[in-house]
Amino acid sequence: MKAWSLPTLLARCGFALLGAGFVVSVIVALGHSRRQVSAGEHVLRFSHFNLEAGLRETYADIFRDYEALQRAAGRRVRIEQMAVPARAYPAWLRTQLIGDTAPDLMMVSRYHGMEETLLARHFSPITGEVAQPNPYNAGTPAEGQPWRDTFHDALHFTGYDPLLMEIYATPLTTNTVRIYYNRELARRILGSDPTPPRTYREFLAWCEATRRFAAQEDRPIAPIAGSLYNAQFLFGPLFSTQTQRLRGKLDARGDGVAHDLDVTLAALRGEWSLESTPVAHALALTREVGATMQPGFRQLGRDDAVFLFAQGRALMIATGSWAAPSLRTHSDFPLGVFTFPVPMADDPQYGAGVKGPSSETENLVFEGVAVSSRTTERELAIDFLRYLTSVPVATRFSRQTHLLSAVKAALVEEELAPFVPRHEGYTFGLSLSGLGDNTRQLTEQEGHLLHGPAGSVAAFVAAVQPGYAAALRADLARWRFNSLKSLMRQDVVFAAQSALAAQGEPGAARKAAQLLETQIQNELLLYWTDAELGRIESEPGR
Amino acid sequence: MSRNLLLLLSCLSMAQLGHALPPPDSPWRDIASMRFSGDDGARLADASSTPGDKLAAATIALGTQPKTRANLERARTLLEAVIAPDLASAEALEARYLLARLRQVHAFEPDPLGAARDFLALYAAAPTSRPGQLALVRAVPIHVLLAVAPAERAETLVGLEALASTLPDADLRRGLHFALAETAQRCGEGDMAYRQYQLAEKIGLLNRTVQADVLLRIATLALERSEPDVAAAYYREFLRRFPTERRAYEVGQHLLPLGEAP
């Protein structure tokens, strides 16, 4: 037998592996295509990116129960789960949507690339349905309530698209940010089992005690384990506390929330700047808290911060409720949890711009399960969503996944109690990058000047200021582009609903009138922006 | 006559009008749910098609992605073909409205000022038609904010306000009240904004977020006019209708200095 040389052997092995891969792919593809819908069977395909341990199994359990429920009612239903890794999900979903092969139900998220143009074209609003009670809540505290109101944020943030002015999604989980601390280390640093800080000053005292302890022990122990990822959870809310009153003054429409557009235009008009007192305080506060993290935290990622904390080299870490299961797994010490005590109006240094505590539901972002506009099973898909977000099923989902449910009346396990969001509170202050990515990139790019050891508020402002107006304008241009795109989409639907209304289609006139309201508001903002930009440009000295 | 009886009669008349429903194969159903392709548009645009089909085909051309100059040109040609035989027909008025809309938002180089002129001309030509009334609603923000000098905005708004009560279509009348209120508020015409928001609210705004926003805007405008009782009434109404809304806590705080418990 002829002996093969090593390169030949490797090449043949490579071809063999390639061939085996092809055969496996064909078998998988054929297997998938064979899962045809049999006569009388209703199939719902449900895609998500929750690959964390236990989630797929929980979904599967709930799907089987729903199928059994439907079977008992004489309907054959099958729900297929399509779990796709989070990193690949946005591209995968976009391909499915454009290729017209999208599942009936899809987990969508602003963090995973979901934007207005995709929503308008490929998803079916559920605004009408969520105004009605969820029948699966019969016999629960949420019985009779509009489905919408059974969620922590009444779907204002998680399900509602402000540009399209429609509700598209229902969330399954809700997330809050908390400070986790090493209770064992806290005992050593602070003595006994200390009560978590209730004020910003008490928090600073914890940090100071940690620094002293580290110096005594000659060990590198940071008050907070930081990374670029974790820091954002503190810096955003902290900044917001200082600018609450400023934002209130910029509320041009008098409805209690200054639109990011008005905030941006106000900056271009010179009504506030990076040197305004509230902004200067916000930057100083952010720098102060940044200094409680280990040096160089901006160069580190999430895993680095978790590692530092798990190694006992930091007393605290700021992260979301979603991280609780893994932090418990990775830490061999008891964990404590508390809400970060941001400065309040009575703080001697940072109280002036504060109105009061903010509602944590404002932290929530668009994320939930949405219905495809192409599904042939819309009614069934919405029924399943009602089931999935009913109080009993949401309680079960939370219990099995150890995640806080988005449904208010779902029972909360003791371990999740510290994560329940605070509903009451004032609206948020402004941020430096409320309208878009250009200002965000600019401020992040120069962040080292704020947080570096030799940095300062003045150095940061000096670096950001020259490019800030241009970045604001670029954000406005992007917002304008997206607004026009949405108007175009809405226009087509509006024309169709108007025509259907003229032909006597029930409900069409109302849908057209609703869209008209949406468009009036969006067009007003568009032309107001144009008028204001024109006026600003024509001012002497510009 | 009681409201319930009116509702019953309206339901009965709807049932009697069952024959007036759109045909099952109406292309507008697919367009309304964005289920169409360029092929659908081509089929509808066939030379033998009706003006209604041409309008549908033009709408598909406007909505087909990605947007292309060819599709926009196709839409324009179809709409002009609807207008050509009879400038005053119902379909021609729809087509004129859509042409102005194409100019305003769909064109690669949008021309809102030109569109506003087209809208106002359409309203002048057919003020009681639905496209004419709709054109007036569309024209308001563009005309007032972009076409008129800031010093003349107040006077222009007063002229437009006089037209609001004349619109026969209740949905479009509400739309005009709302458009006037929004525009007036931006122009610093608080009194007109206050009146127009209240008129729109009285007819009944449809989107919940808009409803909530408008209740608070009226309350704020009432406070500016030194009408704390009116403001308190709108704040209370907001809390009654939106008890879990994100602004509910703050609205409760606004009620305290007005002498009311949240």
Please give the ipTM for the structure prediction.
0.90
Closest CA to B207 of A122, A163, A487: A163
pLDDT at A34 over 70: no
Q: Is the peptide bond before B66 cis (omega within 30 degrees of 0)?
A: yes
Mean pLDDT of A470-483: 95
Chain B touched by A81 (CB under 8 Å): no
What CA–CA distance (Å, rounded) separates B55 from B44?
Answer: 9
Q: From the list A162, A491, A505, which residue is nearest B105 (CB)?
A: A491
The alpha carbon of A541 is separated from its chain's Cα centroid by a whole number of angstroms, namely 41
Chain B touched by A466 (CB under 8 Å): no
Say what the pLDDT of residue B8 is: 40
Burial class (CB in 10 A: 0-12, 13-18, 19+), B172: buried
Q: From the list A154, A484, A491, which residue is nearest B244 (CB)?
A: A154
Give bridge partners of residue A82 from the DSSP assignment.
Answer: A47
Say what the pLDDT of residue A113 is: 78
DSSP letter string, A404-461: -BSBTTS---GGGGGGPPP---BPP---TTSS-HHHHHHHHHTHHHHHSTT--HHHHH
Query: Closest approach of chain A CAs to the CA of B77, in angstroms?
Result: 17
pLDDT at B16 over 70: no
Say what the pLDDT of residue B138 is: 98
For the stretch A77-130, pLDDT in tens is: 999 999 999 889 999 999 999 888 999 999 999 877 787 778 878 999 999 999
Residue type, A188: R
pLDDT at B261 over 80: no
Chain B touched by A12 (CB under 8 Å): no
Which chain A residues have a beta carbon less than 8 Å from that of B205? 517
Residue type, A355: K
Q: Dihedrals φ, ψ of A133, to 5°? A: -65, 155
Query: Closest approach of chain A CAs to the CA of B98, in angstroms?
Result: 9
B27 to chain A: closest CA residue: A496
Say what the pLDDT of residue A225 is: 97
For tokens 């008028």, the residue is A531
Say what the pLDDT of residue B5 is: 42
Say what the pLDDT of residue A28 is: 46
Say what the pLDDT of residue A38 is: 72
Greater model confidence, A540 or B6: A540
* Residue A447 and residue A280 in contact, taking contact as beta carbons nearer than 8 Å: no
pLDDT at A282 over 90: yes
Pairing relation of β-strands A76-83 and A41-48? parallel
Say what the pLDDT of residue B37 is: 76
Report how far apart, in Å, the C-alpha atoms of B168 and of each of A511, B11, B129, B171, B174 are.
19, 21, 9, 9, 11
Chain B touched by A518 (CB under 8 Å): yes
Q: CB-based contacts of B96: which residues, under 8 Å, 6+ apart? A: B79, B83, B118, B122, B131
Say what the pLDDT of residue A112 is: 79
Mean pLDDT of A165-193: 93
pTM: 0.84
Closest CA to A254 of B219, B262, B147: B219
Say what the pLDDT of residue B10 is: 41
Cα A187-A193-A197 angle, rounded to 5 deg: 95
pLDDT at A33 over 70: no
Q: Whole-number mean pLDDT of chain B?
A: 89
Q: CB–CB of A165 and B212 under 8 A?
A: no
Say what the pLDDT of residue A22 is: 58
Q: CB–CB of A506 and B14 under 8 A?
A: yes
* Residue A143 and residue A98 in contact, taking contact as beta carbons nearer than 8 Å: no
pLDDT at A492 over 60: yes
Q: Which of A423-437, A445-459, B44-58 has the lowest mean pLDDT?
A: B44-58
Say what the pLDDT of residue B262 is: 63
pLDDT at B170 over 50: yes
Say what the pLDDT of residue A29 is: 45
Q: Where does the pLDDT of residue B19 fall: very low under 50, low under 70, confident under 90, or very high at 90 and above? A: very low
Cα atoms in the Cβ-side hemisphere of radius 13 Å centred on A396: 14
Q: Where does the pLDDT of residue B48 fall: very low under 50, low under 70, confident under 90, or very high at 90 and above? A: low
Query: Closest approach of chain A CAs to the CA of B186, in angstroms?
Result: 8
What CA–CA distance (Å, rounded) separates B107 from B79?
Answer: 14
Chain B touched by A425 (CB under 8 Å): yes
Q: Whole-number mean pLDDT of chain A?
A: 91
Q: Where does the pLDDT of residue B84 fall: very low under 50, low under 70, confident under 90, or very high at 90 and above? A: very high
Q: Where does the pLDDT of residue A13 fall: very low under 50, low under 70, confident under 90, or very high at 90 and above? A: low
Residue A76 has a CB neighbour count (10 Å cut-off) of 14
Instruction: Tell me if residue B207 falls in helix, strand or coil.
Output: coil
Query: Closest approach of chain A CAs to the CA of B42, in angstroms?
Result: 17
Residues recorded for chain A? 542
Chain B touched by A98 (CB under 8 Å): no
Eight-state DSSP code of residue A146:
B
Q: Where does the pLDDT of residue B1 fall: very low under 50, low under 70, confident under 90, or very high at 90 and above? A: very low
* Residue B96 and residue B89 in contact, taking contact as beta carbons nearer than 8 Å: no
* Residue B110 and residue B103 in contact, taking contact as beta carbons nearer than 8 Å: yes
Mean pLDDT of A425-429: 91
Greater model confidence, A13 or A58: A58
Which chain B residues have a beta carbon less than 8 Å from that of A510? 206
Q: Where does the pLDDT of residue B4 fall: very low under 50, low under 70, confident under 90, or very high at 90 and above? A: very low
Greater model confidence, A506 or A290: A290
pLDDT at B211 over 80: yes
Say what the pLDDT of residue A2 is: 54
Taking CB atoms within 8 Å and a gap of at least 24, the contacts of B195-200 are: B195/B161, B196/B161, B196/B164, B197/B221, B199/B164, B200/B174
DSSP letter string, B208-241: HHHHHHHHHHHHHHHHHTT-HHHHHHHHHHHHHH
Query: Closest approach of chain A CAs to the CA of B38, in angstroms?
Result: 14
User: Which pair of structure tokens corresponds to residue A149?
Assistant: 């109101």
Greater model confidence, A82 or A537: A82
Mean pLDDT of B68-88: 95
Say what the pLDDT of residue A360 is: 86
Say what the pLDDT of residue B34 is: 74
Instruction: Tell me if residue B88 falls in helix, strand or coil.
Output: coil
What CA–CA distance (Å, rounded) separates B161 from A531?
Answer: 21
Say what the pLDDT of residue A4 is: 64
For tokens 């503190």, the residue is A234
Q: Which of A234-238, A324-328, B152-156 has the lowest mean pLDDT?
A: A324-328
